[in-house]
Amino acid sequence: MIDTHCHLDFPVFDHDRPSLLQQAKESGFEGIIIPAVVQKDWPRVIRLCEQSNLITLNFALGLHPCFVDQHVSVDEAELALNEAVLHSVTGRPVAVGEIGLDYFIDSSEDNRKKQYALFTMQLAVAKKHNLPVLLHVRKAHDEVLKCLRKVRLPKGGIVHAFSGSEQQAAQYCELGFVLGIGGSATYDRAKKLARIIRQVPLESLVLETDAPDIPPAFSRGERNTPLNLPRIAQKIAEIRGVNVAELVQQTSTNAKRVLGL
């Protein structure tokens, strides 16, 4: 299986990263995608993926909407992102990400303006380099859909930790996007998400943990790790009413298709 969204580079994994990767390999992981969130972390993410000899780690480069205070101006960021995409020592990133709009965090008009400018710039960079995107979207799905309709990315991408409505899910799928489903699906109160998991085509789902964030219901209050993915997959398969092996196989195929792995 493939964890399409995991922040394995975060310092919270420094003490046991090799052991997590060893166990992930033994549990049959095919790969893990590590999206960067701020520019200063790009080299760390690239280095981690380059050094891994246990399982395939792939990186994405981008500027996360929740950290606008840490990002440079849009023009400087555009130069840096283009440069990083073209000249990463380990080859190209698999996507531009993690990028998006987050209108859930308490944000001023100024903050939202900068989020929007950084987001649309990064969509344009993805299009220029023919890369998919990894999206972080909260309370801003219609805005994001509007931007995606305008830019029309040929490779689409993944809407990570999807939290929108059934209609919004359908609209993303029409635009060639797939939905990242993780720990949120393991909570019994997640009725709307369960309906979406049952309704969208199986070709439109991918698995993720978002570790260390979004701990699943069975490990509430603990650090989330990629090793929770098999149990998350089990729960999603139950909701969907398919065999877990079939779910894992199809979601891996989907991840490879979208990210060109």
Cβ 122 to Zn ion shortest distance, Å: 15
Between the two ends of the chain, the Cα-to-Cα distance in Å is 13
Q: Tell which residue, 173, 155, 154, 157, has the closest CA to residue 165.
A: 173
Cβ 66 to Zn ion shortest distance, Å: 9
Cβ 198 to Zn ion shortest distance, Å: 25
Q: Which is nearer to Zn ion, 158 or 233 (CB)?
A: 158
| Per-residue contact flags (x/-) with Zn ion for residues 232 to 251, judged by CB under 5 A | --------------------
Helix (H) and strand (E) counts for the chain? 9, 8
Beta strands in 163-209 (DSSP E): 177-181, 205-207
| Alpha-carbon span 90 to 246, nearest angstrom | 32
Q: Which is nearer to Zn ion, 102 or 237 (CB)?
A: 102
Q: Which is nearer to Zn ion, 135 or 237 (CB)?
A: 135
| Per-residue contact flags (x/-) with Zn ion for residues 84 to 123, judged by CB under 5 A | --------------x-------------------------
Beta strands in 118-260 (DSSP E): 133-138, 157-160, 177-181, 205-207
| Nearest residue to Zn ion on Cβ basis | 98
Cβ 35 to Zn ion shortest distance, Å: 6
* Residue pointed to by tokens 């395939």: 56
Cβ 246 to Zn ion shortest distance, Å: 27
Q: Which is nearer to Zn ion, 36 or 85 (CB)?
A: 36
Q: Which is nearer to Zn ion, 78 or 102 (CB)?
A: 102
| Alpha-carbon span 74 to 65, nearest angstrom | 12
| Alpha-carbon span 69 to 259, nearest angstrom | 29
Binding site for Zn ion (CB under 5 A): 98
